[in-house]
């Protein structure tokens, strides 16, 4: 989305941007809540070619454009006003500006409230806990998401994601990694997406931006509506097929309690084949990827230099240039999955900015195989954009410590922690100022909380 800033107060102002296929008009906060946005928020749709939406007639006669300067609309994202052509010439009604943003239009039972600017963070490896959603499985947002993922996968995964997320006696991550790696990754994806849909649908959370870390990238895109939950699961199946066609030596990930610059120095001095910096998480935490043999030698070298290290529970080689051919094949196999414009801004830790068009979105999906995750830079950038709270949708606090290390003033929360019920989720949201509602109003799964 486009963000405009005033020089004196640093507050968002209306902006209009045309760049890389992006056409956005509305208030600077991207929600259409400011003056001149019509009676409701703008709708975002994919414009595959020249625009067929009529522009409002000019207020005064103007000469026709020179034929050499006229050009069709560029393909990309386009905001629509949501008004018919017959009403295009009528003046837009004045919409009162709220303190920050409204969780849901008052006509749907919500109340406009002032809340901190929020980022929803979708975690990856390390966020799985068996039976994490067992006390929330009856909520429609959770139940429907798990059913959609299970239906899309069918019997192509050895274990359904729903069982892993609602059964506290399901296998743990180490057991799944040995024999059911695809099932583990689908459970991480489904769990993060179900948690976000619960926060959005049952608690009215409307984030300012979504952010995915490694495997969480696809959950962030599904949460933003780029593709359905089922299509995201099909992309995981396509990735598994691509990695089978383009195999590599057994590899994994190794975490280091070491600054990114020192990690790069250690990699250069080691000169071991296939090693890459996979994640820059914080000033004192990095992840290295590579073949198992090189990782074992590198871990021994780190230990001799008094650097703590720990292998992660993965068997697939991620964030490594050795997976270039697999990433290319994955993009080809997933080409039949339709992509739409996101409902929320989605920040890419690979690009260092929000996604701008469909090509970048498709590159971002397959990028987790071959490119590093710059999470520390993502937190810093989002803080500069005014984000105050980072809400993680995993079952445990995996990324919160990294955000707090980047900026001690930031607030983090894991509302849908393992075993949490509705009251627990509401209490966590209230503690960070995101839910000024009575938790008793959320007892009915079919009810809409009101304030």
Locate 377 and state its tokens: 């830079």
pLDDT given for residue 10 in this prediction:
45
pLDDT given for residue 250 in this prediction:
83
β-pair partners for 336: none
pLDDT given for residue 391 in this prediction:
98
Query: Of 429, 393, 423, 391, which is closest to residue 410 (Cα–Cα)?
Result: 391
Structure confidence by residue, pLDDT tens digits, 397-436: 999 999 999 999 999 999 999 999 999 999 999 999 998 6
Burial 14-29 (b: 16+ CB within 10 A, else e): ebeeeeebbbbbbbbb
Burial 378-390 (b: 16+ CB within 10 A, else e): bbebbbebebbbb
Q: What is the pTM of this model?
A: 0.74
* Domain 119-246+321-437 class, CATH top level: alpha beta
Tell me the residue length of the chain.
451
β-pair partners for 276: 289
* Domain 251-311 class, CATH top level: alpha beta
Query: CA-CA distance, 107 to 40, in Å (whole number)?
Result: 11
pLDDT given for residue 41 in this prediction:
43
Q: How many CB atoms lie within 10 A of CB 103?
A: 21
Distance of CA 170 to the CA centre of its chain: 26
pLDDT given for residue 442 in this prediction:
53
pLDDT given for residue 436 in this prediction:
65
Sequence ranges of the domains in the chain: 1-54+73-97, 119-246+321-437, 251-311
Q: DSSP letter string over 190-215?
A: HHHHHHHHHHHHHH----SEEEE-TT
Query: CA-CA distance, 437 to 449, in Å (whole number)?
Result: 7
pLDDT given for residue 278 in this prediction:
96
Per-residue pLDDT of the chain (451 residues; tens, 9 = 90+): 443 444 444 444 444 433 334 344 444 444 444 333 334 444 444 444 443 444 444 544 545 544 444 444 434 444 333 443 443 444 433 333 322 323 333 334 444 457 899 999 999 989 999 999 999 999 999 999 999 999 999 999 989 999 999 999 999 999 998 889 999 999 999 999 999 999 999 999 999 999 999 999 999 999 999 999 999 999 999 999 999 999 877 889 999 999 999 999 999 999 999 999 999 999 999 999 999 999 999 999 999 999 999 998 788 889 999 999 999 999 999 999 999 999 999 999 989 999 999 999 999 999 989 999 999 999 999 999 999 999 999 999 999 999 999 999 999 999 999 999 999 999 999 999 998 655 555 555 444 443 3
Query: CA-CA distance, 150 to 139, in Å (whole number)?
Result: 17
pLDDT given for residue 286 in this prediction:
97
Query: CA-CA distance, 251 to 312, in Å (whole number)?
Result: 11
Helix (H, G, I), strand (E, B) or coil at 355: coil
Q: What is the 3-state secondary structure (H, E, C) of 296-309?
A: HHHHHHHHHCCCCE
Show Cβ contacts of residue 172 under 8 Å, excluding neighbours closer than 6 positions.
130
Number of Cα atoms under 13 Å in the Cβ half of residue 187: 32
pLDDT given for residue 262 in this prediction:
96
Structure confidence by residue, pLDDT tens digits, 241-300: 999 999 877 889 999 999 999 999 999 999 999 999 999 999 999 999 999 999 999 999
pLDDT given for residue 20 in this prediction:
39
């Amino acid at each position: 989305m486009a963000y405009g800033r005033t020089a004196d107060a640093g507050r968002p102002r209306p902006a209009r941007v045309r760049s890389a296929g992006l056409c956005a008009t509305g208030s600077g906060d991207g929600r259409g809540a400011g003056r001149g946005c019509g009676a409701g928020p703008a709708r975002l749709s994919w414009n595959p070619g020249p625009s067929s939406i009529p522009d409002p007639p000019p207020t005064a006669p103007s000469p026709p454009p020179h034929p050499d300067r006229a050009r069709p609309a560029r393909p990309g994202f386009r905001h629509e006003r949501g008004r018919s052509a017959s009403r295009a010439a009528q003046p837009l009604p004045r919409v009162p500006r709220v303190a920050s943003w409204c969780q849901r239009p008052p006509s749907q039972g919500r109340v406009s409230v002032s809340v901190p600017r929020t980022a929803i963070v979708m975690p990856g490896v390390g966020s799985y806990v068996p039976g994490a959603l067992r006390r929330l499985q009856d909520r429609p947002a959770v139940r429907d998401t798990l059913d959609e993922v299970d239906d899309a996968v069918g019997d192509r995964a050895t274990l359904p994601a729903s069982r892993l997320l609602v059964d506290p006696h399901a296998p743990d991550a180490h057991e799944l990694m040995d024999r059911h790696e695809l099932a583990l990754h689908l459970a991480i994806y489904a769990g993060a997406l179900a948690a976000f849909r619960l926060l959005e649908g049952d608690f009215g959370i409307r984030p300012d931006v979504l952010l995915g870390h490694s495997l969480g990238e696809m959950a962030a895109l599904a949460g933003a509506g780029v593709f359905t939950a089922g299509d995201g699961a099909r992309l995981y199946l396509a990735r598994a097929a691509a990695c089978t066609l383009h195999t590599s030596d057994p590899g994994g990930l190794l975490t280091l309690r070491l600054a990114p610059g020192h990690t790069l120095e250690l990699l250069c001095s080691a000169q071991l084949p296939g090693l890459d910096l996979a994640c820059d998480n914080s000033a004192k935490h990095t992840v290295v990827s590579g073949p198992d043999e090189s990782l074992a030698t590198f871990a021994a070298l780190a230990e001799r230099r008094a650097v703590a290290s720990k292998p992660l529970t993965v068997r697939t080689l991620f964030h490594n240039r050795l997976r270039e051919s697999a990433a290319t094949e994955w993009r080809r196999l997933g080409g039949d999955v339709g992509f739409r414009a996101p409902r929320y801004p989605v920040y890419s830790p690979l690009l260092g900015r929000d996604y701008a068009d469909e090509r970048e979105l498709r590159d971002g999906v397959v990028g987790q195989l071959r490119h590093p995750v710059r999470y520390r830079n993502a937190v810093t950038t989002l803080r500069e954009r005014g984000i105050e709270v980072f809400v993680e949708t995993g079952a445990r606090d995996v990324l919160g410590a990294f955000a707090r290390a980047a900026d001690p003033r930031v607030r983090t929360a894991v509302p849908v922690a393992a075993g949490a019920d509705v009251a627990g989720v509401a209490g966590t949201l209230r503690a960070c100022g995101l839910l000024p509602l009575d938790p008793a109003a959320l007892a009915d799964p079919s009810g809409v909380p009101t304030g």
